[in-house]
């Protein structure tokens, strides 16, 4: 197998293209990061920002930068990365461009669980933050399981479009249930929940970065190691079945991984949809169909997307803020419609 | 007149629909429905934060005494509200029935196909740019909004190569609703009118006034009469385009008129109660199960059942968790979602 050891020129070219894309995205993220640091209710000039970053700023300046803006931006990037990878995995395993953690009810399930959880505590600040990703995962997993069962038909298996349809319906049902239940919450918890659902990155605190980071550090590399499995699954069910029943097991494992990552993200960011839809798509346009490339690049695209959305949300109508979830929906929904018009089945 | 063989077949199809129609059930629904509706209206008027007995309700209607607090509560708050609920229920249900029949789409509902979100979006614009606009103009904006939502959804649906499948339309409807919902929320935040608008998202008839009813009722009456006048053509359309053409139906005109009526009904309902989904989905299916496939019976039966459903939902919303009111949109969604899943799984069923 000599041709496996020697990379063809087209492969080399592809790799160079991917590296270039990664570099470009990195530069874009850095630029946005710097702009985002300057954006907000209290303006800091670029020099002030730099000075403060190196520890020479006034106390107020470093408070704004290190305790408010930085953690929030780090969370935006991490959540964007997680949601994008989760979306890439989902699209790979159901082989449908419309699959996305928000659309298929993961956000709603996580929201319901988080809501039930915080209603046991007098105030939100009493609730232990580090447990939230687990709680969100239980809700998201429950919702995903219900959707999976309901869209399964004997002899036909899971049809992607039925999966998306069931997801939309379950999300509507859970939303309704949440509205009915919210009336029993006290005002402070209610306010928290309302902002949570709208998808503002509310956890602007290093505590939340710490709560989210381990999940991503463990599961994103794990998903990356499954790239070749994803490549096979994307080829189509016939090919995958030909390779043995063990593909069905891999498909389930990947589904669980995607739910875990999305749930962890959503538990700190709130209901942000469409990132997992847009980012993998743009990425496929940039680097092709290989998941070895799609996963890292779509993580970068997702991080960039959510960072930009959050920054725009802070900048557009100061002093009030628009939740990043709204901005992403305004960009994402037309994109979804465009894809819907393009897909055939 | 001589009929060709194809025309005979089509005639037979139509005749079959007419034969399987159950006018007795239809009449039964309309008569017992009226009695039940009256009873629920009376019950709904007398129950609430302050319980008022039936005698006082009777007294308010026939011997109104402006000095009595009970009479004032009933006249100014309770009566408009329950009438509003009944009207809104009829509007959503009939618009759903028309959509399902005209487009032969079993999953059609003004909420699912983006009409409600469009109307709510226009209302948000109205509150932001023309605060204090009189209600008779607001309702027109609501019609336009419904048209906007429907236009985008059908536009996107028909752009696709495989055309307007029911499921594709629902997906487009969900995305358009997400988009318009996000824009409305943005507008609400920017103009700080979230408080005024929250009510429209959740859905509730508590704010209904006599002024609103006076504006809505004429629209509703015209639209309902129009729907009944069109019902024969809708039955023919629901048999498929070939049959309709075969029977010499002027489809373009019928479709246009139906579309206008659907937009008026959905827009009017949203301007009173907010974006409530699933009434237009559940009720026509139920009506069809009861009275058969003839739209001359489905439409009046839907109007009656829709009114009953929303009046009862509103009553439940008030007594489920007093003193708070649960948004009726949420309550109806809890019924509607399982029903929708059942329909989607079955692949739609007959229209």
Domains and CATH numbers, chain A: 73-340 (1.10.3470.10)
Residue of chain A whose Cα is closest to the Cα of B186: A322
- State whether A329 and B181 contact (CB < 8 Å): yes
- For A137, how many CA atoms within 13 A lie in the half-sphere containing its CB? 15
Distance CA A312, CA A305 (A): 11
- For A199, how many CA atoms within 13 A lie in the half-sphere containing its CB? 28
- State whether B321 and A184 contact (CB < 8 Å): yes
Please write the tens of the pLDDT for every residue from B48-73: 666 677 777 777 777 777 777 777 77
Q: A58: pLDDT confidence band, cut at 50, 70 and 90?
A: confident
- State whether A340 and B156 contact (CB < 8 Å): yes
Distance CA A162, CA B344 (A): 8
Percentage, residues of chain A above pLDDT 90: 10
B172 to chain A, any CB pair closer than 8 A? The answer is yes
Cis before residue B323, ω within 30 degrees of 0? Answer: yes
Residue of chain B whose Cα is closest to the Cα of A316: B190
pLDDT for residue B349: 46
Q: How large is the average pLDDT for residues B163-175?
A: 80
- List Cα–Cα distances, A56 to A44, A51, A53, A60, A61, in angstroms: 14, 5, 7, 11, 9
Distance CA A74, CA A32 (A): 12
Mean model confidence pLDDT for chain A: 80
Measure CB to CB from residue A330 to each of B156, B159, B179 and give the nearest one. Answer: B179
Distance CA A277, CA B147 (A): 28
Distance CA A336, CA B151 (A): 16
Whether residue B11 has pLDDT greater than 90: no
Please write the tens of the pLDDT for every residue from A38-48: 777 677 777 77
Please write the tens of the pLDDT for every residue from A59-116: 777 777 777 788 888 888 999 999 999 999 988 887 777 778 877 778 888 888 887 8
pLDDT for residue A201: 64
Please write the tens of the pLDDT for every residue from B76-135: 778 888 888 899 899 999 999 998 888 888 888 888 888 888 888 888 888 888 877 787
Q: A96, A153, A169: which to substitute to probe chain B, counting the most B Cβ within 10 Å?
A: A169
A124 to chain B, any CB pair closer than 8 A? The answer is no
Chain A contact set for B161 (CB, 8 A): 344
Measure CB to CB from residue B162 to each of A150, A323, A344 and give the nearest one. Answer: A344
Chain A contact set for B152 (CB, 8 A): 337
Cis before residue A319, ω within 30 degrees of 0? Answer: yes
B155 contact partners, CB below 8 Å, separation of at least 6 = none
3-class secondary structure, A158: strand
Please write the tens of the pLDDT for every residue from A226-266: 888 888 887 765 655 666 657 777 888 888 899 889 888 88
Is the CB of residue A286 less than 8 Å from the CB of residue A21?
yes
Measure CB to CB from residue A179 to each of B174, B327, B337 and give the nearest one. Answer: B327
Q: How large is the average pLDDT for residues B195-217?
A: 71
Distance CA A148, CA B27 (A): 43
Pairs of residues, one from chain A and one from chain B, whose beta carbons lie less than 8 Å apart: 117
B337 contact partners, CB below 8 Å, separation of at least 6 = A169, A170, A172, A173, A176, B278
Mean model confidence pLDDT for chain B: 80
- List Cα–Cα distances, A262 to A1, A85, A228, B315, in angstroms: 40, 9, 21, 39
Tokens of A334: 């037309």
Whether residue B346 has pLDDT greater than 60: yes
Structure-model confidence comparison of residues A123 and A295, the more confident one: A295
Complex ipTM value: 0.77
Question: How wide is the angle at C-alpha B313 spanned by C-alphas B308 and B317, nearest 5°?
Answer: 150
pLDDT for residue A1: 41
pLDDT for residue A233: 80
Distance CA B267, CA B16 (A): 35
Measure CB to CB from residue B337 to each of A161, A173, A321 and give the nearest one. Answer: A173
Distance CA B273, CA B207 (A): 8
pLDDT for residue B1: 43
Tokens of B48: 């609430």
Tokens of B305: 């059942």
Q: B283: pLDDT confidence band, cut at 50, 70 and 90?
A: very high
Alpha helices (H) along chain B: 5-20, 23-46, 54-62, 69-72, 79-103, 115-129, 135-159, 166-191, 194-202, 210-238, 241-246, 251-273, 279-291, 295-319, 328-346
Q: How large is the average pLDDT for residues A139-168?
A: 80
Interface list for B 143-162 with A (CB within 8 A):
152, 156-157, 159-162
The helix-helix angle for A9-38 and A275-287 (nearest 10°) equals: 140
CA dihedral of A96, A274, A145, A154, whole degrees rounded to 10:
-20
Residue of chain B whose Cα is closest to the Cα of A170: B337
Residue with tokens 């959804």: B153
Chain A contact set for B342 (CB, 8 A): none
A149 to chain B, any CB pair closer than 8 A? The answer is no
Measure CB to CB from residue B156 to each of A153, A341, A344 and give the nearest one. Answer: A341
Of A2-6, A17-21, A267-271, minimum mean pLDDT range = A2-6
Q: A189: pLDDT confidence band, cut at 50, 70 and 90?
A: low
Residue with tokens 């204090």: B132
- State whether B330 and A169 contact (CB < 8 Å): no
- How does DSSP assign A314-344, residue by residue? HHTTTTS---HHHHHHHHHHHHHHHHHHH--
B170 to chain A, any CB pair closer than 8 A? The answer is yes
3-class secondary structure, A43: coil
Q: Look at the alpha carbons of B334, B336, B339, B345 in this order and tell me if their dihedral is positive or negative.
A: negative
Per-domain boundaries in chain B: 77-346
The helix-helix angle for B210-238 and B295-319 (nearest 10°) equals: 140
Q: How large is the average pLDDT for residues A174-189?
A: 74
Residue of chain A whose Cα is closest to the Cα of B172: A337
pLDDT for residue A152: 77
- State whether A162 and B167 contact (CB < 8 Å): yes
Distance CA B37, CA B306 (A): 10
B303 contact partners, CB below 8 Å, separation of at least 6 = B90, B93, B94, B224
Chain A contact set for B174 (CB, 8 A): 103, 168
pLDDT for residue B123: 86
**With 0-12 CB in 10 A as exposed, 13-18 as middle and 19+ as buried, what is A183?**
middle
- State whether A273 and B345 contact (CB < 8 Å): no
Chain A contact set for B176 (CB, 8 A): 333, 337
pLDDT for residue A82: 93
Please write the tens of the pLDDT for every residue from B176-197: 888 888 888 788 777 776 666 6
- State whether A177 and B159 contact (CB < 8 Å): no
Distance CA A46, CA A119 (A): 43
Distance CA B268, CA B239 (A): 29
Q: How large is the average pLDDT for residues B200-223?
A: 78
pLDDT for residue A2: 45
B193 to chain A, any CB pair closer than 8 A? The answer is no
* CATH code, residues B77-346: 1.10.3470.10
pLDDT for residue B348: 46
- State whether A336 and B175 contact (CB < 8 Å): yes
- How does DSSP assign B179-190, residue by residue? HHHHHHHHHHHH
Tokens of B156: 């996107």
Structure-model confidence comparison of residues A67 and B39, the more confident one: B39
Q: A316: pLDDT confidence band, cut at 50, 70 and 90?
A: confident
Structure-model confidence comparison of residues A216 and B274, the more confident one: A216
Residue of chain A whose Cα is closest to the Cα of B165: A345
DSSP A7: P
Of A29-38, A150-159, B94-103, B281-290, minimum mean pLDDT range = A150-159
Closest-CA distance, B262 to chain A, in angstroms, reads 23
A204 contact partners, CB below 8 Å, separation of at least 6 = A68, A69, A71, A72, A75
CA dihedral of A6, A7, A8, A13, whole degrees rounded to 10:
-150
A52 contact partners, CB below 8 Å, separation of at least 6 = A44, A58, A61, A62, A65
Alpha helices (H) along A237-323: 237-242, 246-269, 275-287, 291-315
3-class secondary structure, A153: strand
Distance CA B240, CA A207 (A): 61
φ, ψ at A157 (rounded to 5°): 75, -150
Distance CA B340, CA A142 (A): 20
């Amino acid at each position: 197998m000599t041709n496996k050891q020697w990379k063809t020129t087209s492969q080399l070219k592809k790799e160079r293209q991917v590296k270039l894309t990664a570099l470009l995205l990195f530069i874009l993220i850095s630029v946005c990061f710097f702009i985002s640091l300057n954006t907000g209710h209290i303006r800091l000039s670029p020099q002030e920002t730099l000075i403060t970053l190196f520890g020479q700023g006034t106390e107020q300046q470093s408070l704004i930068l290190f305790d408010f803006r930085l953690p929030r931006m780090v969370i935006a990037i991490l959540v964007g990365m997680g949601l994008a990878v989760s979306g890439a995995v989902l699209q790979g395993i159901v082989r449908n461009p419309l699959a996305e953690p928000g659309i298929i009810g993961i956000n709603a399930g996580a929201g319901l669980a988080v809501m039930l959880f915080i209603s046991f505590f007098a105030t939100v600040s009493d609730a232990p933050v580090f447990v939230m990703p687990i709680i969100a995962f239980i809700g998201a997993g429950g919702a995903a399981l219900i959707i999976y069962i309901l869209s399964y038909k004997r002899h036909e298996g899971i049809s992607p479009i039925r999966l998306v349809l069931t997801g939309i319906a379950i999300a509507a049902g859970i939303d309704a249930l949440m509205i009915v239940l919210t009336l029993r919450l006290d005002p402070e918890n209610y306010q928290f929940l309302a902002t949570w659902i709208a998808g503002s990155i509310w956890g602007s605190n290093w505590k939340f970065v710490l709560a989210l980071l381990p999940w991503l550090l463990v599961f994103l590399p794990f998903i990356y190691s499954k790239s070749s499995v994803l490549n096979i699954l994307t080829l189509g069910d016939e090919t995958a079945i030909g390779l043995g029943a063990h593909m069905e097991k891999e498909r389930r494992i990947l589904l669980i991984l995607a739910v875990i990552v999305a749930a962890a993200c959503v538990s700190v960011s709130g209901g942000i949809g469409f990132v997992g839809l847009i980012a993998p798509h743009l990425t496929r346009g940039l680097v092709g169909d290989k998941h070895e490339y799609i996963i890292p690049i779509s993580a970068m695209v997702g991080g960039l997307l959510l960072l930009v959305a959050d920054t725009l949300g802070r900048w557009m109508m100061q002093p009030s803020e628009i939740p990043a979830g709204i901005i992403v929906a305004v960009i994402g929904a037309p994109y979804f419609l465009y894809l819907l018009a393009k897909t055939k089945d | 007149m001589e009929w060709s063989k194809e025309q005979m077949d089509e005639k037979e199809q139509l005749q079959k629909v007419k034969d399987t129609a159950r006018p007795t059930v239809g009449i039964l629904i309309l008569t017992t429905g009226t009695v039940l509706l009256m009873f629920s209206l009376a019950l709904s008027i007398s129950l609430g934060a302050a319980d008022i007995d039936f005698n006082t309700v009777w007294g308010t209607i026939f011997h109104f005494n402006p000095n009595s607090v009970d009479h004032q509560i009933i006249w100014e708050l309770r009566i408009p509200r329950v009438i509003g609920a009944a009207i809104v229920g009829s509007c959503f249900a009939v618009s759903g029935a028309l959509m399902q029949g005209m487009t032969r789409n079993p999953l059609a509902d003004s909420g699912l196909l983006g009409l409600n979100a469009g109307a709510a979006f226009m209302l948000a614009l109205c509150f932001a740019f023309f605060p204090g606009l009189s209600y008779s103009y607001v309702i027109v904006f609501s019609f336009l909004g419904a048209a906007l939502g429907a236009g985008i959804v059908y536009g996107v649906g028909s752009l696709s190569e495989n055309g307007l499948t029911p499921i594709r339309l629902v997906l487009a409807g969900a995305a358009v609703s997400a988009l318009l919902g996000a824009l409305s929320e943005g507008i609400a935040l920017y103009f700080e009118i979230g408080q005024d608008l929250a009510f429209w998202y959740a859905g509730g008839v508590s704010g209904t006034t006599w002024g609103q009813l006076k504006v809505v009722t004429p629209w509703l009456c015209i639209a309902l009469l129009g729907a009944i006048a069109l019902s024969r053509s809708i039955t023919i359309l629901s048999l498929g385009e070939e049959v309709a053409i075969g029977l010499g139906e002027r489809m373009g005109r019928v479709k246009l008129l139906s579309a206008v009526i659907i937009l008026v009904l959905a827009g009017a309902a949203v301007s009173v109660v907010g974006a409530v989904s699933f009434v237009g989905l559940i009720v026509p299916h139920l009506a069809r199960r009861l009275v058969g496939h003839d739209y001359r019976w489905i439409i009046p039966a839907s109007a009656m059942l829709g009114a009953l459903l929303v009046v009862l939902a509103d009553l439940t919303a008030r007594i489920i968790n007093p003193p708070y009111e649960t948004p009726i949109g949420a309550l109806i969604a809890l019924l509607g979602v399982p029903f929708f899943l059942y329909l989607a799984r079955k692949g739609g069923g007959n229209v």
